């Protein structure tokens, strides 16, 4: 991918918005995408700095799109732009810098992110409060810039330094060292010293009041306040959802025993109880002997049937199950979101969540 | 080698540790160490292990560092040791009755065979058993890849109940280790390296020694959290299931004698095998700097039970025991992940509430892409954490020429999946499946950071 083009130059495609593309300001923000051969606006400075950095690079095309048009028609625009950019056989795509322009930042991030799966290196640059940072930092290399165009010179200098490394095929393992935003992704590495010695050294510094750096900064956790109890269950629909891994025998969806990447949705239609022949636990984080002997212990279908008659609620004919063992919080959140949308759509008003 | 005695006039428990290094293993007609090579009488050891009525068969195999060998599914790893203290056996309370409170912990000598371990494998009991690769990329993640293994591949009689199965395999490892130590280390020994370890004096004497009550070096305590979720996730102290035991102080060098043993099938990466307990580097480092760089004021063991009430009670008691040692700071190590994260945070916040500084050792479960948060619980006081790596990170292990055990179970292991087998015979598996890879006692060098 770092092969220079036929005339020996690296080929770069530059993405800019309507303003830097010379179309106009906010009043032209709905401008549809088009292409200019060669550099335009900040592209000229970029090209100059690449050459000063001993990288014989050429901006072969500048792709321009209005900011509003991009965010309002993102899928369509990308469907058009990705093959178009690819057609130039670029060694690198540079988007922006977008500074603190929110829609422009989202567009730069969106373009870079869409090119990654094709193996086309793409970089961009923005101000830390640009919404594009939070949206794309995990997948895109984003150089940190000032909040407005007065930081152009510095932004271009940092982008070129990073761009040259990418052109030469260097993998950027820790973006922060390159002036980029941390991707917020945990990555393993081998420390020079075993963890035990590091712990004692950190404790001595903490005791002495010397500065120390935790190796894992504790994040802020969402806490969900429990909802008030429902006084009268008569007539409402209640569903069962479990992270205890109760699945139909044979685990038809192959939900992993740990680090689940999926959940299953299974019918309870006509079932008065679960038994060991029809259901099992797929969970690897607890001894599932007793859950396998009687799956109602984790997914209390039997008790629900008793209470249903007693209290007059309606049972939801489906239950959802995953394995809550080493499962990442991101995956868990994603499952919860999808399940909640379906439950609400299906008129469920209360859920009993069981875990292990 | 000896270290300064911290409190003159008080006699702390002192242990002399002799280490005899083994450079190779082999089978022979009599179990002994000869010219650095451990020779094992296969027939005698097999017969001893088969005296357990649950055990149908035991295959003994040797694996050496650098061999193209995968050992799977590993249940426990044990270093053979012999106590030279009359009446105080190794694995006290496990292979013989022992009450540390009425019998006391006597001073004296212990001998260990270094460079080799007894490793138990056999059909899977719980999902969370693991892999040791003796060469290739996986070998970088575990200290066990650098050791000689006597592997016991144990099969039990049909119909053996799961918990009985676990117990038989667990005890077989200790019996084999004890047999090897007794057969090869009994008698006069002149070789090996010697180290003297002085335990902390009793807390009643703390600060009443030479220093006249004025601390000149910081006081450090150690809170040693033990997996006790139950149901194949258990740890034993002097034979007692720790989930049934309140937190308590121990004499730190008790661990050298196998006072803490593993009985658990929690995820391979961060469960403490018996070897890890026998060689706990936090205890050893704290003892080695004791009286010089710091005062090691004591070690408290606590459990990681599953109910909220148990967690609250244990963390309160553990924090009070730690506070009674009057340390400036405490190292807290966790075992397992997920549920125990809650115990870790409770221990941290309650100890900090006593005005004592904490550093926590934990691994991370940040997802295969590293993008998720790493722990399931948090507390603002947990501001000093040493990370032993993201156990969800995927590693590709090429196929091995030889498998000891059964590698068909690889997809079922915690960290494996039904998609983990690649077309070329490699497996793409989470670090979670490698024994000891993200050990939270701090043996390994792997860590994690933001990219």
Q: Which domains does chain A have, with CATH numbers?
A: 10-178 (3.40.50.2300), 237-354 (no CATH)
Which active-site residues of B does the annotation give? Answer: 265
User: What is the DSSP pairing of strand A10-17 with strand A57-65?
Assistant: parallel
The tokens 């990329």 sit on which residue? B137
Rounded CA gap, B283 and B217, in Å?
A: 18
Q: CA of A148 to nearest chain B CA: how many angstroms apart? A: 26
Classify residue B213: in a domain, yes or no: no
Compute the average pLDDT of residues A167-189: 89
- Residue B411 covered by a domain: yes
DSSP sequence for A102-157: HHHHHHHHHHHHHHGGGT--EEEEEETTSHHHHHHTTTSEEEEE-SSGGGHHHHHH
Write down the pLDDT at residue B127: 59
Q: Name the residue range of residue B153's domain.
A: 14-199+218-433
CA quadruple A311, A312, A313, A318: dihedral, nearest 10: 110
Alpha-carbon span B385 to A84, nearest angstrom: 48
Report the C-alpha gap between B122 and B433 in whole angstroms: 16
Any residues with CB less than 8 A from the CB of A136 and at least 6 apart, and which? A109, A110, A112, A113, A124, A142
Q: How far apart are CA A150 and CA A157, in angstroms?
A: 13
- Confidence check: pLDDT of A17 > 90: yes
Burial class (CB in 10 A: 0-12, 13-18, 19+), A6: exposed
Crossing angle of the two packed helices B281-288 and A195-208, in degrees rounded to 10: 50
pLDDT in tens, chain B (451 residues): 333 334 434 578 999 999 999 999 999 999 999 999 999 999 999 999 999 999 999 999 999 999 999 999 999 999 999 999 999 999 999 998 999 998 789 999 999 999 999 999 988 776 568 999 999 999 999 999 999 999 999 999 999 988 899 999 999 999 999 999 999 998 888 788 999 999 998 765 544 444 444 557 999 999 999 999 887 789 999 999 999 999 999 999 999 999 999 987 778 999 999 999 999 999 999 999 999 999 999 999 999 999 999 999 999 999 999 999 999 999 999 999 989 999 999 999 999 999 999 999 999 999 998 988 899 899 999 999 999 999 999 999 999 999 999 888 888 777 887 788 889 989 999 999 999 999 999 999 999 998 8
A312: left (phi over 0), alpha (psi -120 to 50) or beta: left
Distance CA(A172)–CA(A165), nearest Å, equals 8
**CA-CA distance, B276 to B262, in Å (whole number)?**
9
pLDDT score at B203: 62
Q: What is the mean pLDDT of residues A56-79?
A: 95
- The pLDDT of residue B411: 81
**The predicted structure's pLDDT at residue B380:** 92
Residue of chain B minimizing CA distance to A208: B218
| pLDDT of A1 strictly over 70 | no
Quick check: B177 contacting A, CB < 8 Å? no
All residues of chain B having their beta carbon less than 8 Å from the beta carbon of residue A215 are 385-387, 447-449
Is B209 within a domain? no
The answer, yes or no, to whether residue A5 has pLDDT greater than 60, is no
- Tell me whether residues B359 and A216 touch, CB distance under 8 A: no
Q: Which of A207, A258, A331 sits opposite B415 (nearest CB)?
A: A258
User: In B233-283, which ranges are E strands?
Assistant: 233-237, 240-241, 248-250, 260-264
Question: A196 and chain B: CB distance < 8 Å anywhere?
Answer: yes
Q: What pLDDT is recorded for position A222?
A: 67
Q: Which of residues 84-103 of B touch A (CB under 8 A)?
A: none
Inter-chain contact B384–A202, Cβ cutoff 8 Å? yes
A185, A193, A219 member nearest B451 (Cβ): A185
Distance CA B230, CA B247 (A): 16
CA distance A6 to chain B (A): 35
- Does residue B347 belong to any structural domain of this protein? yes
- Spell out which residues of chain A touch residue B288, defining contact as CB-CB under 8 Å: none
Tell which residue, A264, A261, A306, A302, has the closest CA to residue A281: A264
Whether A194 has its CB under 8 Å from any CB of chain B: the answer is yes
pLDDT of residue A8: 66
Instruction: Give me the residue from B218, B412, B415 closest to A204, CB to CB.
Output: B218
B225 in a domain, yes or no? Answer: yes
Q: What's the rounded mean pLDDT across residues A63-89?
A: 96
**Omega before A97 cis (within 30°)?**
yes
> Quick one: which of B108, B147, B115 has its CA closest to B257?
B108
Task: Please identify which residue in the block is written with the tokens 């606590």.
Answer: B302
- Chain B hits for A175, CB-CB cut-off 8 Å, are 451
> What is the distance between the alpha carbons of residues B236 and B234, in angstroms, rounded to a whole number?
7
The whole-number average pLDDT for the span A56-82 is 95
- Predicted confidence at residue B190, as pLDDT, reads 77
> How many other C-beta atoms lie within 10 A of the C-beta of residue A72?
13
Cα separation, B394 vs B300, in Å, equals 35
pLDDT at B3: 36
CB contact under 8 A, A326 and B432: yes
Question: For residue B373, what are its two tokens?
Answer: 């948060």
Domain count, chain B: 1
Question: pLDDT digits over B243-289, tens only?
Answer: 999 999 999 999 999 999 998 777 899 999 999 999 999 999 999 99
Strand partners, B78: B118
pLDDT of residue B232: 78
pLDDT digits (tens, 9 = 90+) for B322-349: 999 999 999 999 999 989 999 999 999 9
Rg (CA), chain A: 27
The confidence score (pLDDT) of residue A349 equals 93
Residue B148, domain member (yes or no): yes
Q: What angle do CA A113, A119, A120 make, to 5 degrees?
A: 70
Q: Is residue B400 part of a domain?
A: yes
A119-164 pLDDT, tens per residue?
A: 999 999 999 989 899 889 988 999 999 999 999 999 999 999 999 9
A257 and chain B in contact, CB less than 8 A = yes
In a domain, B443, yes or no: no
8 Å CB contact of A326 and B230:
no
Pairwise CA distance, residues B348 & B352, whole Å: 6
DSSP-H helix ranges across chain A: 42-52, 67-72, 74-87, 102-115, 131-136, 152-167, 195-208, 289-293, 301-311, 329-345
Backbone φ/ψ region at B159: left (φ over 0), alpha (ψ -120 to 50), beta: left
> B447 and A193: CB-CB below 8 Å?
no
The alpha carbon of residue B290 and the mean position of all alpha carbons in its chain are separated, in whole angstroms, by: 22
DSSP A186: E
Residues of A in contact with B431 (CB under 8 A): 188
**pLDDT mean across residues, chain A:** 92
Q: Nearest Cβ partner of B331 from A173, A194, A200?
A: A200
């Amino acid at each position: 991918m770092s092969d220079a083009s036929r005339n020996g130059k690296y080929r770069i495609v530059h993405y800019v918005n309507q303003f830097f593309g010379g179309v106009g300001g906010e009043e032209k923000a709905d401008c549809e995408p088009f292409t200019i051969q060669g550099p335009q606006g900040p592209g000229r400075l970029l090209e100059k700095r690449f050459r000063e950095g001993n990288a014989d690079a050429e901006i072969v095309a500048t792709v321009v799109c209005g900011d509003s048009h991009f965010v309002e028609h993102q899928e369509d625009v990308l469907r058009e732009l990705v093959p178009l950019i690819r057609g130039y056989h670029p060694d690198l795509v540079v988007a922006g810098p977008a500074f603190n322009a929110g829609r422009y930042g989202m567009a730069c991030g969106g373009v870079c992110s869409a090119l990654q799966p094709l193996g086309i290196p793409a970089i961009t640059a923005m101000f830390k409060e640009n919404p594009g940072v939070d949206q794309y930092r995990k997948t895109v290399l984003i150089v940190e810039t000032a909040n407005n165009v007065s930081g152009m010179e510095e932004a271009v200098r940092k982008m070129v330094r990073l761009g040259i490394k990418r052109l030469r095929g260097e993998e950027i393992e820790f973006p922060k060292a390159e002036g980029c935003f941390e991707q917020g992704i945990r990555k393993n590495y081998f420390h020079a010293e075993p963890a035990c010695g590091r712990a004692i050294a950190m404790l001595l510094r903490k005791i002495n009041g010397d500065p120390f750096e935790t190796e894992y900064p504790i994040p802020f956790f969402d806490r969900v306040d429990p909802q008030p109890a429902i006084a009268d269950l008569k007539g409402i629909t209640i569903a069962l959802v479990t992270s205890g891994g109760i699945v139909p025998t044979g685990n038809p969806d192959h939900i992993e025993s740990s680090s689940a990447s999926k959940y299953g949705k299974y019918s309870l239609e006509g079932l008065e109880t679960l038994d060991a022949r029809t259901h099992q636990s797929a969970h690897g984080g607890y001894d599932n002997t007793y859950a396998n002997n009687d799956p109602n212990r984790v997914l209390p279908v039997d008790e629900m049937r008793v209470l249903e008659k007693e209290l007059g609620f309606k049972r939801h004919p489906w239950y959802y199950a995953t394995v809550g063992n080493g499962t990442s919080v991101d995956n868990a959140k994603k499952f919860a979101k999808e399940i909640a949308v379906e439950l609400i759509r299906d008129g469920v008003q209360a859920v009993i969540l069981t875990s292990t | 080698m000896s270290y300064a005695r911290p409190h003159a006039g008080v006699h702390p428990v002192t242990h002399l540790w002799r280490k005899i290094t083994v450079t190779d293993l082999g089978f022979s007609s009599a179990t002994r160490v000869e010219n650095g090579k451990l020779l094992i009488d296969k027939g005698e050891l097999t017969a001893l292990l088969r005296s357990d009525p649950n055990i149908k068969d035991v295959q003994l195999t040797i694996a050496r560092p650098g061999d193209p060998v995968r050992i799977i599914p590993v249940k426990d790893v044990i270093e053979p040791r012999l106590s030279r203290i009359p009446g105080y056996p190794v694995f006290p309370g496990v292979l013989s009755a022992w009450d540390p409170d009425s019998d006391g912990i006597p001073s004296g000598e212990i001998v260990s065979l270094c460079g080799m371990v007894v490793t138990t494998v056999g059909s899977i009991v719980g999902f969370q058993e693991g892999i040791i690769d003796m060469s290739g990329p996986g070998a970088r993640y575990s200290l066990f890849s650098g050791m000689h293994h006597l592997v016991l591949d144990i099969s039990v009689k049909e119909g053996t109940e799961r918990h009985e199965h676990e117990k038989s395999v667990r005890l077989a490892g200790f019996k084999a280790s004890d047999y090897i130590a007794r057969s090869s280390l009994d008698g006069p020994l002149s070789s090996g390296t010697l180290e003297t370890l002085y335990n902390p004096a009793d807390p009643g004497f703390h600060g009443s020694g030479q220093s006249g009550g004025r601390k000149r070096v910081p006081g450090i305590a150690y809170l040693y959290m033990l997996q006790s979720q139950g149901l194949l996730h258990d740890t034993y102290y002097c034979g007692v299931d720790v989930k049934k035991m309140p937190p308590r102080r121990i004499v730190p060098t008790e661990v050298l004698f196998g006072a803490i043993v593993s009985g658990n099938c929690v995820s391979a990466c961060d469960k403490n095998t018996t070897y890890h307990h026998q060689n706990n580097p936090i205890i050893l480092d704290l003892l080695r700097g004791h009286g010089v760089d710091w005062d090691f004021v004591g070690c408290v063991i606590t459990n990681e039970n599953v109910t909220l009430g148990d967690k609250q009670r244990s963390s309160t008691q553990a924090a009070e025991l730690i506070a009674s040692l009057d340390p400036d700071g405490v190292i807290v190590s966790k075992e397992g992940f997920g549920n125990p994260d809650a115990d870790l945070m409770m221990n941290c916040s309650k100890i900090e509430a006593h005005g004592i500084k904490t550093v926590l050792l934990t691994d991370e479960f940040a997802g295969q892409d590293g993008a998720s948060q790493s722990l399931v619980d948090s507390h603002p006081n947990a501001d000093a954490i040493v990370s032993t790596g993201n156990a969800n990170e995927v590693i590709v292990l090429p196929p091995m020429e030889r498998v000891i055990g059964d590698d068909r179970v690889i997809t079922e292991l915690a960290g494996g999946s039904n998609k983990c087998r690649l077309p070329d015979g490699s497996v793409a598996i989470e670090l979670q499946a490698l024994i000891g890879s993200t050990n939270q006692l701090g043996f390994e060098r792997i860590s994690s950071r933001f990219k």
